[in-house]
Amino acid sequence: RSQRLSSVHVHFADPPLVPRLEARGFARRLSVQYVWENAGYSSYDDFLLRFTARRRKQLKKEARHVFEDGIEIRTVRGARYFNPDLVYRLYSATLARYPQGPKPLPLDFFKRLVAAFPENVEFVSCRRGGEVVAGALNLAFDDRLYGRYWGSLDAHPFLHFAACLYHPVADSIALGRRLYHPGAGGEHKLTRGFTPSLAHSAHLVFDPRLARTEREHLATERAALEEGLPLWERETGFKRK
């Protein structure tokens, strides 16, 4: 209050912290993140065997479409292989196709990111005829991979799925990684083997009128998520146990 802040937000809070924040006046929020978990797969084909035959056929069809389009996908790791100018060009080109979308991060952000995490940056490079046409910036820490920023110079059917979902999953299996967090949103991840997981946050709004409206909305949202989560978990495309 002394700093005249309108609100304070704690995102991705550890669940035990949330009741303590609620006791201090914060409102609790639940949201959904889609996460891939390694169940001890020996290969990407082993992972595909978990899907129903119909779903498995669709995933293979999407991957084959990218291959037949003449696009080669591979991951390069570490700062010496990372070109912030290229990543920014791909990323900003994608956002430019959605003028009503978010404002792009500046080039300096990507330069600072690679300087801060030189050993953790990974770039999924998508090349056609030797030229990079798309790519995804990821960050790896221990046994987890975090998907962050995607971009392409032109629209290519299924390339986003291949570069941001299928290829990182295959990489994670090969490297023995335990979890892959592909980023926020996207119900399309659900049918591609990413399971819904609840994320916790807490929010303190100082204006009492806005705070009251916020609490009412968050209560309704929590109830819908808690009711829907078991249903979404059955929509991954996996075979029924």
Q: What is the pLDDT of residue 241?
A: 62
* Reported confidence tier of residue 20, pLDDT bands at 50, 70, 90: very high
Q: What is the pLDDT of residue 155?
A: 86
Is the pLDDT at 237 greater than 80? The verdict is no
DSSP line for 125-140: EEEETTEEEEEEEEEE
Q: What is the pLDDT of residue 216?
A: 96
- 213: number of Cβ within 10 Å: 12
DSSP state of 73: E
Is the pLDDT at 233 greater than 80? The verdict is no
The answer to whether the Cα torsion of 222, 223, 224, 228 is positive or negative is positive
Nearest Cα neighbor of 122 from 69, 73, 64 is 73
What's the whole-number average pLDDT of the chain?
Answer: 92
Alpha-carbon distance 143 to 125, whole Å? 21
pTM, rounded to two decimals: 0.87
- Residue-wise pLDDT tens digits, 41-71: 999 999 999 999 999 999 999 999 999 999 9
Worst-scoring range by mean pLDDT, 19-23, 143-147, 227-231, 233-237?
233-237
Q: What is the pLDDT of residue 102?
A: 80
Q: What is the pLDDT of residue 173?
A: 98
Q: What is the pLDDT of residue 230?
A: 76
Phi, psi of 172 (to 5 degrees): -60, -40
Q: What is the pLDDT of residue 191?
A: 86
Is the pLDDT at 75 greater than 90? The verdict is yes
Q: What is the pLDDT of residue 72?
A: 96
Instruction: Look up residue 9 and give its two tokens.
Output: 């937000």
- Residue-wise pLDDT tens digits, 80-113: 888 999 999 999 999 998 888 788 899 999 999 9
**Cα atoms found within 13 Å of the Cα of residue 180, Cβ hemisphere only:** 24
- Residue-wise pLDDT tens digits, 149-203: 999 998 888 999 999 999 999 999 999 999 999 987 777 888 899 988 889 999 9
Is the pLDDT at 34 greater than 80? The verdict is yes
Is the pLDDT at 22 greater than 90? The verdict is yes
* Reported confidence tier of residue 147, pLDDT bands at 50, 70, 90: very high
